Structure formats: C-alpha cells, structure tokens
Amino acid sequence: MNHKFKISFTFFILILGFSPFKIEAQNITINSGWQFVLDDKTSQNWETVNIPHTWNKEDAFDDEKGYHRGVGWYKKKLYFSAESKNLIHYIHFKGVNQETHVYVNGQLIGNHKGGYTAFNFNITKWLKFDAYNLVEVKVDNSHNPNIPPLDADFTFYGGIYRDVELISKPKQHISLSDFASDGFYVNYYSISEEKAGVEVKILIDNFENRQINNKLKVTLLDAKNTTIFAKALDFKSSAEASESLNIKFSEIYNPKLWSPENPYLYKLHILLLDEKENVLDEKHQNIGFRWVSVDADKGFFLNGKPIKLIGVNRHQDYQGYGNAAPIEFQKKDIQLIKNMGSNVLRNAHYPQSQELYDVCDELGVLIWTEIPVVNKVTNTKEFFDVSLNMQKEHVKQYYNHPSVVMFGYMNEIYLRLAFDGKSTKLEKENQKRAALDLAKQLEQLTRELAPNHITVMAGHLNELYNETGIADVPMLFGWNLYFGWYDKDIPDLGVFLDDQHKRYPNRSLLLSEYGPGSDIRIFTKTPKKFDFSIEYQAKLHQSYYQQIMERDYMTGMTAWNFADFGSEFRGDAIPHINQKGLIQFDRTPKPIYYWYKSILNKEQPFVHIATNYFDGLTLLGDDTYPVQIYSNQQAAELFLNGKKIKVVIFENGVANIDLPFINGINTIKVVSATVSEEKRVEVLKIETLDFQTFSRFGINIGSHFYFTDKEHQITFVPDQPYKEGLFGHVDGKTYNLSKDKHQGIPYGIKKTNSEPLFQTMLEGCTNYKLNIPNGRYKVNLFFVEPKIKSTENIYNLKVSTQISKNKIEQRVFNILLNQTLVESHFNMAEQYPEKYGIIKSAIIGIKNNEGLTISLQSIEGKPLISGILIEKLN
Ligand code: GCB
C-alpha cells in the first residue's frame, strides 16, 4: 500500500466515523422505472414504465377491442439504508385507478378502493434495512359494484396515473394517517373585511414507545414573507399515540381577502421540533381569507359580495396520455381556464391532482370538487362505506385550499333509473330511496368535516330530483341541462329554470353543465341541433350565457366541458371522445373558447376572428360566408382584402358578419382602438364545376355541413338538390337512424377518420348528377351500412350469411357511372362488417358533354350513399 493511498483511506474512514449521511424527513418521488405487466404477474412479459402510467391510453380509442378493464401489476425494488431504520416509512399514492393492493417483500400490506383520491401505507414493519425491498402493486380497474363510479360518460383508465412517493419521517411527525391528508387543517374565524383570524388544527403522531417532549412553531406570513404572527407550543407526545393540537392566531386587521380578481395568499409555516429544537417535520401551506354563501334569490356571494360564477367543468385526461397526463400539461389547462376569464372550475366528476388546486389558489379560480358517485348507486353497505370513506379522503385532502369553496358528492344519480325499463316499481322505489339515503349521509359527513364550505350535487333533466327531495339535500343544486342538444330547444333553458325557481324558491341553483358537441372539421351556414358544427356550438353557448346573466337567482354556469375527453363507449364525430369541449382533446382552442375570453376576460384587450377552422373554404356561386368576430372591445374596423368593409359593434362579445370572399387567399383584418388581428382564409369560389381552378371536388352527401377531411385533404361541401349547371341529388332523403335518438346519426363507423362524412347520408337516392366537363376522372364513392349487426360468419365465404330479413334491412344495389356498371349487387350487410366505412373508386371518361350521373339501382331495399369525391385526371 503506498503512502498516499494510506492517507486518503484513513481520511475516508474518518469521514465515515462522522457519518457522511444526514437522515431526516424526506419525500422522494419514485416514478421512474417500474416493471409492469397486465393480468398475470407470473408472465415473462414485464415492461419498464414510468409513472404516471395507464394501460389504456391506446385501447380506449381502439374500435375493435374495447379497453382492458382488469388487473395490471407494477413492481419495483427500493433500497433502505441501515441508517434509515429509525425512521417511519410510507408509500404514498396520489392516484391509482381504481382498486389497489400493495405488497412489500411478498406481504400484502394494504388495500385501497377508489381511483381519484390519495392514500398511503406505513410500510416500516415490512421493510428490510441495508437491503433491497420489493414493492408490488396490483391495480384493478374492472367494474366493481361496490366502488363508485359504477357507470359514467368518461373512460376509467386503469393504472398508477399520479405520482408515487416514498415518505420517510422521524418517529414524531405531522400525521400522514388521517385519510392521507396533510395532517393539519386551516380554519378561519371571525372573518370579515375588517378582520380575520386563523386557527390551525395539527395532528402529530408519535411512533416512539415512550412519551416525548415536542414543540410546534407555527408562523403566519404575508405574501412577501413578512412574519405576521409566530407561535410556539411545547407539548408532550404520548407513547405510540396521536395528538391533536390547536394553534389560534389573533385576528389580522384589514386582511387582504382572497378572490378571483385578487388571489392574495398568506403563508403558513409549521415546524415540529424535538427537545433540542431539531426539526422533525415541516409543512408549508398557502392560505387565503375568503368566505362564501349562497342565496336562492340573489345567487352566490364571495366575501359578502355577489359574484356570478362563470367557468367550466374539467376532466383530467389528455390526448395521447389518457389520465396519465404530465402534470405540467394539466397546470397549463388551469392557465387556459383562467385566461378565458373563468372564475370557477368544477372538477368533474372526481377529485383531480392536488397541484391543480394549488394553481387555482394562486391564480384565483373558485373550485367545485366532487367524488365520483355518478349515475347510480349500489344499495349495499360496502358501496355506502366506500363512498363515505372517499368523501372523507376528499374533504380532508383538499380542505386547506382557499380555492376550494364547494364540496360535492353526486352527479346525475338518477340517470340510470330514469332510463330503466326493466326494474319493477318496487325495485325503482328502493333505488330512489338508496340514492337519497346515501346523499343524506354524504351531506351530513361533508357538513361535519367542512362546515364553512358549500355542499353541492348535480342532477339531470328529470323530475325525480324534485320528487324525491334529493335536490334539497345539498346547499346548492346544479342542473346539468342540455336544451338544444339532448332535449328540446335552446330557449327552453330559461323557461325551465324560471319554473324551477318558482316551484322551489328556497333552493339555490347553478347550471352545472351545458353545451353541444362540436368538431372543428364541421361548419355550416345553417347550424342545427346535433350537427357538431362550430356554428351550433357558438349559437348555444352565446344564448345560454345571456339566459343565465338575465337571471339573478342563478349562481352561475359551468360549461361542459373545458376540453374534449375520452369516453370509450361514445361515438361523436370522433369515436370514443366526448366532443363538448371548448378546446380540443389536444388542447387546441375551438372558436368558442375565444368567445368566452371576449366576454369574460376584461383585462387584456382582445379580438379574435373565428376562422381558424376553415381549412379551405369552398363557396358555390356568388357567395358570402358568415363569420363571427369576438372581442372585449366595443367596436372595431373591419377590412377584407385591404378594403374597409364597416365598423363592427360587439354585442355579447360578438359581431356577426357575412363576408364577401374572393377566390384565392383573403385577408381579414379587425382593428380596434387598442388591439388588432389579421387572418388569412383560402377560398375556392366555384361558379360551375368546370375543374379549371381546381382538380378535386367533394360532396358531403345527405348533409347540410362542410366537412374538412384531413386524410383526403379536402373540404367536402354540403349536399343540395340537383341544380342545373352544378350538382345535386335527383331524389333520396336524408337518412335518419331513428327520429329521436341523436338525430339519427350512426356512430362508431369503423376503419375511418372521416366519421362525419359517413355519418350523414342519403337514402333512396337513385340518381346523383354532376355537370362536369369532358375528360378523365377518378370517382370515389363513400358508403356505410348503418343498421346491420355483424354476423359471426360474415367472413366465412363458404357459408352464406343468411341474414335474417326480419332483423336486418338489407339493401342490394348496382352502382353505375353514366350507365356503365361498376359494381353489381353491392350489399354492405353481406360483404362488410357492421358500420364499415367503404370507399369505391372507379375511373371514367366523360364525353359528349354528358356530365356525370351516378346511379344506384335498387335490387332490394333502398340504396344509401354518404359522399362523393371527384378527381380530375390528366
Ligand atoms: C352529463 C354528465 C356528463 C356527460 C354529459 C354529456 O350530464 O354529467 O358526465 O359527459 O352529460 O356529454 O352527455
């Protein structure tokens, strides 16, 4: 051993002697590098994943399989040093959907039910120190009749989709065992504009088997970190027990109140010390002085002043990630919600990530937060217990956020009952009673735990909520109303609300959901209920806003939904997605988002020309197109292609204007006193189908709306009855699946991204004419059979499918292009799976100025056609 080495070795030993480690309280996020396998943990197919993780981010959007609702296993090795054996170790899960079993070194150490609240387990006694420990987590998102939600319009993605933490604490620490809360609760007393007091209840756990002398130091600071009050409390922690301690500060005079306009945050700092004043544990919490109340006539009050709540509902999933969306993406949502001018957010239908509530505290957004007891309840003790436990976790975990002012616990709890055609009268009565009982228990619990919050619940359009009296259980009742979508017409909203207010004058009301589906690929001059057009979305929201603003008794409104979200069973214009968002699933705003901004955000001068969705606008004849311009200004000058058109006046945040576009690129400019915007729109103006300035032309057959199809790189124009010199159907009727259901649009069309093109169609069309010049063309025809159910043997060509005629309406027809037969005996039911998007293409030469006639000759039943795309060939 050479001399030099000897010295450094001794030096190393010396350091070790002084122990190079500091072992103290720690929160470590352990998201990276878990092993994961579906179903069977003895399988060899483990893959390495990072948390947040869900196994449903792809299959929840897959047409064929349906999404995996079952078991997923996660495992990870964790090293615990010898030095850490005097600490207490917890594994803390912020969100796992939906039932979790945790094993340490092969031993089951705990189970948690419910996918949206945090939980933790003290794992200390199962650990090996100075050794690697195996943590295994079994997650199950199967339907479980005793865990809410039982059924709801969103995807129940399975997995560990929020952070996992390893929390190590000295033997005395601020409790982690009170329903995984922070172990302290901030309460306000004698709160007013003049003065306000804070009182903190702190829970301390002592894991030592002897009594310990401890000290708490609690400091209240202002936003600039200036100490306002500091208090110290010496106390004795009894052996292996928990203490509950109260620290009450004197009142602050002229407190800065927390509100959406001025979300002023004070800070609370809690230190737990041992006898020698060593820090054992510490907590930081933003607090805000605010108080809320509701009045059945005058609406919602914050800090004693009326405030109309206008905002959104939010689901937590995100395109490409499911519910395992990076937290920074989610925080950006809150920024978008605030920038829109919202003062309220309903976290529907379950508690969301804590970090988002922190952002709402900071930005000033009031929150309605709720547990996922949705659509129906199971009348078992276990279901009731799980629900009550969930609400305890929920209230305790989210209690300290100044933004949280409303605690909810049920959504549309009579939805399934209202559509239940099977149960007997008695069974129905029992279901009604069970939901009411649970509501009362949840209400009582919530009021006990959070006496200064507003309790809430939302119901759907049904008398059951009145009849049973459930609507009067919470302090504020939210109606989810879809007039002009699922129900009657847009103006019926006000009529319904006035009637409710008259009949139940003591009930405080909020419009907790409303809004139509919309797809930025769909637009029309003649918006209609259920067409998913951008224009219909604008029309409904703009009217609803006015109707609510006119009614003082309405506390406010929260739009359904902030963003499009995953709902696996659904088929809107995009399958598996509920498209009622103000922004898209990938968070690109739809025009309506900007309209809300124009009426709600008074701070930044703002103007927006709502043309983003035109990706090539084709206008037929000498035509104009109605465009909406949104602004929070009073008026602005409007220019089209450099020429001033007029001064537009904004009413209700919007100016409607018919723009006389020219062929080619158009520039629209809006200039107000303080702000301006310019947009370019490419317009194809067509007088005749001469194929001079264009080489492709598409028609969305059976439809009144344009459809921009990215795959075919074309905007299909609306259909029309045949017009001499142009195009149109000679006969046929718009196909309607059923008169009442969703306006008859067939959902779930397979193997296509062009659903809206297929969803609308003409039935009984025998001739479709297009006046196109002589030449060679590729004619693409789009078809779907909306009515059949696939038969098992559809691909078994040896066996005739023998489709029963009573069950299935068959249609068999020949397709001819200018009398030339291109397809004989076309029978979608016989030849393709159910609801299959079919494209037939043929090349045709047109001569003698005969134009093109597409003929569908019926052999059996009525022919159907969804779209036409004509491409000029050289
Ligand atoms: C509702 C439900 C919500 C649905 C929404 C809809 O009333 O509360 O969960 O997603 O309707 O889009 O149908």
The residue whose C-alpha atom lies closest to atom 10 belonging to ligand 1 is 153
Positions in the chain short of pLDDT 50: 1-18, 740, 790-806
Give the residue, by CA position, lying nearest to ligand 1 atom 4.
153
Q: How far away, in angstroms, is 318 Cα from ligand 1 center?
A: 18
Q: Nearest C-alpha to atom 6 of ligand 1 is from which residue?
A: 153
Question: Is 558 close to ligand 1, i.e. is its CB under 6 Å away?
Answer: no
Closest ligand 1 atom to residue 515 Cα is 12
| Two structure tokens written together for 189 | 């007393």
346 lines ligand 1 (CB under 6 A): no
CATH topology for 306-609? TIM Barrel (3.20.20)
Ligand 1 atom 13, closest CA: 153
Closest ligand 1 atom to the C-alpha of 578?
Answer: 12
Query: Which residue among 156, 349, 480 has the greatest number of ligand 1 atoms within 8 angstroms of its CB, and so is best to mutate?
Result: 480
CA of 396 to the centre of ligand 1 (A): 27
The whole-number pLDDT of residue 21 equals 61
pLDDT in tens, 309-321: 999 999 999 999 9
To 10 degrees, what angle do helices 534-549 and 492-503 make? Answer: 30
Query: Residue 480 C-alpha to ligand 1 middle, in angstroms?
Result: 8
pLDDT at position 622: 73
Residue 652 Cα, ligand 1 centroid: separation in angstroms? 26
Give the C-alpha distances (Å, rounded to integers) separating 675 from 340, 637, 669, 670, 695. Answer: 17, 11, 11, 8, 39
pLDDT at 572: 86
Dist. CA 316 → ligand 1 center (Å): 15
* Structure confidence at residue 795 (pLDDT): 35
Q: Minimal CA–CA distance to 87: which of 60, 51, 127?
A: 127
Q: Is 560 in the pocket of ligand 1 (CB under 6 A)?
A: yes
Burial of 331 (0-12, 13-18, 19+ CB in 10 A): middle
Asked if residue 140 has its Cβ within 6 Å of ligand 1, the reply is: no
CA distances from residue 723 to 149, 591, 726, 728, 799 in whole angstroms, order as listed: 53, 33, 5, 6, 46
Q: Is the C-beta atom of 513 inside 6 A of ligand 1?
A: yes
Q: Which tokens is 259 given?
A: 């509100």
Ligand 1 centroid – CA 213 distance (Å): 54
Q: Is the CB of 570 under 6 A from ligand 1?
A: no
DSSP string spanning 664-727? EEEEEEEE-SS-EEEEEEEEEEESS---SS-SEEEEETT-SSEEEETTTTEEEEEP-B--TTSE
- Confirm if 568 and 60 have CB atoms less than 8 A apart: yes
CA of 153 to the centre of ligand 1 (A): 6
- Ligand 1 atom with the smallest distance to the CA of 460 is 7
pLDDT at 24: 72
What number does the ligand 1 atom closest to the CA of 349 have? 9
State the distance from the centre of ligand 1 to the C-alpha of 344, rounded, in angstroms: 18
Residue 553 near residue 573 (C-beta atoms within 8 A): no
Closest residue to atom 5 of ligand 1, CA basis: 153
Class of domain 25-174: mainly beta
Q: 665 C-alpha vs ligand 1 centroid, how far in Å?
A: 40
Q: How are beta strands 34-38 and 26-29 bridged, if at all?
A: unpaired
Cα 440 to chain centroid, rounded: 28
Identify the pLDDT of residue 91.
Answer: 98
Distance 273 CA to ligand 1 centre (A): 50
pLDDT given at position 744:
59
Tell me the CA–centroid distance for residue 432 and ligand 1, in Å. 20
Q: Are the folds of 25-174 and 696-873 the same?
A: yes
Q: What is the CATH number of domain 184-287?
A: 2.60.40.10
For the Cβ of 207 lying below 6 angstroms from any atom of ligand 1, the answer is: no
d(CA 724, CA 769): 9
Q: Is the CB of 370 under 6 A from ligand 1?
A: no
Query: What's CA 631's distance to the chain center, in Å?
Result: 26
pTM for the full predicted model? 0.94
Select the CATH number that applies to the domain covering 626-686 from these four: 1.10.3720.10, 3.40.50.300, 2.60.40.10, 1.10.10.10.
2.60.40.10
What is the per-residue DSSP string for 815-858? Answer: EEETTEEEEEEE-HHHHS-TTB-EEEEEEEEE-TT--EEEEEEE
Question: If you measure from the C-alpha of residue 95 to the centroid of ligand 1, how many angstroms do you get, rounded to a whole number?
Answer: 23
pLDDT for 358-400, tens place per residue? 999 999 999 999 999 999 999 999 999 999 999 999 999 999 9
| pLDDT (0 to 100) of residue 647 | 97
Do 455 and 408 form a contact (C-beta atoms < 8 A)? Answer: yes
Ligand 1 pocket test target in 371, 412, 414 with most atoms within 8 Å of CB: 412
pLDDT at 874: 85
Provide the residue ranges of all domains of the chain, joining segments of one domain with +.
Answer: 25-174, 184-287, 306-609, 626-686, 696-873
- Ligand 1: which atom is nearest the Cα of residue 415? 7
Strands 404-411 and 366-370 come out as parallel
Compute φ and ψ for 226, nearest 5 degrees.
-85, 130
On the question of a cis peptide bond just before residue 98, with omega within 30 degrees of 0, the verdict is: yes
The ligand 1 atom at the shortest distance from the C-alpha of residue 486 is 13
Ligand 1 atom at shortest distance from the alpha carbon of 458: 8
Q: What is the pLDDT of residue 742?
A: 52
Which ligand 1 atom is at minimum distance from the Cα of 565? 10
Q: What is the DSSP string of 398-466?
A: HTT-TTEEEEEEEESTTHHHHT--SS-HHHHHHHHHHHHHHHHHHHHHHHHH-TTSEEEEEEES-THHH
- Binding site membership of 155 for ligand 1 (Cβ less than 6 Å): no
Question: Ligand 1 centroid vs 461 CA: distance in angstroms?
Answer: 11
**Residue with CA at minimum distance from ligand 1 atom 2:** 153
Angle between helices 354-363 and 327-339 (to 10 degrees): 30
* Cβ burial 278-302 (10 Å sphere, 16+ → b, else e): eebbebebbbbbbbbebeeeebbeb
Mutation test of ligand 1: which of 346, 373, 412, 560 has the most ligand atoms closer than 8 Å to its C-beta? 560
As a whole number of angstroms, the distance between CA 802 and CA 111 comes to: 52
Residue among 628, 491, 502, 591 nearest 546 (CA): 491
Which pLDDT score is estimated for 543? 98
Distance 419 CA to ligand 1 centre (A): 15
Q: What is the pLDDT of residue 750?
A: 80
696-873 homologous superfamily: Galactose-binding lectin (2.60.120.430)
Name the residue among 490, 426, 420, 427 with its Cα closest to residue 462. 420
Ligand 1 atom closest to residue 411's alpha carbon, by position in its atom list: 8
313 CA distance to ligand 1 middle (Å): 10
